[in-house]
Amino acid sequence: MDTRKLLLTAQEISQMKGERKVHFLNPGAVRINKSLGDAVGLRHMGIHLIHIEPGQESTEYHLHHCEEEAVYVLSGKGTLTMASDQYLIAPGDFVGFPRHTAAHSIINDGTETLVCLVIGQRLDQDIADYPNQHKRLYRNNGEWNLVDMGNIRVLRGPTQEPGAKQQGSGDGDSTVGEE
């Protein structure tokens, strides 16, 4: 094995052409992305060097149900929104998002480019909620399905046991978990 291809030097990273990415639900979420993980062959972990220009967002406000992600700020400043809280972020700040935690996004409300290292899992399946858009994304082995949150029918909640009575379903099928 040629181990050299597993190393990216600072010079090689600086010479990489970044890919302009616009979030499919938010045209104001524009970033230049250098996929460091892809460049060295990582398949189960995404590691991205992202550049966010002033006035742009990192992504649409979202949370993951299956995957974890993290952001480390390298340069620039911005505002991190998590749930209903906002935090100023600056170089050296780190934030982790365990699965099922707060929805989040970052906006560059500073005057210089915000540069971050973004790290995340790459599972075969994930579910992501976009609360401001009232959408849920189901991702399965490369296929993406986007649905309106209002069209999701809950068959069993996290605290309901199979066979429990569903309250107020009104459709005559009040037992949950029967197949």
pLDDT in tens, the chain (179 residues): 899 999 999 999 999 999 999 999 999 999 999 999 999 999 999 999 999 999 999 999 999 999 999 999 999 999 999 999 999 999 999 999 999 999 999 999 999 999 999 999 999 999 999 999 999 999 999 999 999 999 999 998 876 555 555 544 444 444 444 44
**φ and ψ at residue 106, rounded to 5 degrees:** -130, 140
Q: Please, what are the domains in the chain?
A: 18-124 (2.60.120.10)
Stated pTM of the model: 0.85
DSSP 39-59: HTT-SSEEEEEEEE-TT-BSS
Q: Using CA atoms, how far apart are residues 168 and 166, in angstroms rounded to an integer?
A: 7
Number of other residues whose CB lies within 10 A of the CB of residue 22: 12
- CA neighbor of 73 nearest in space, from 105, 114, 32: 114
Give the long-range contacts of residues 92-99, CB within 8 A, separation 24 or more.
Answer: 94/70, 95/70, 95/71, 96/68, 96/69, 96/70, 97/63, 97/64, 97/68, 97/69, 97/70, 98/68, 99/64, 99/65, 99/66, 99/67, 99/68
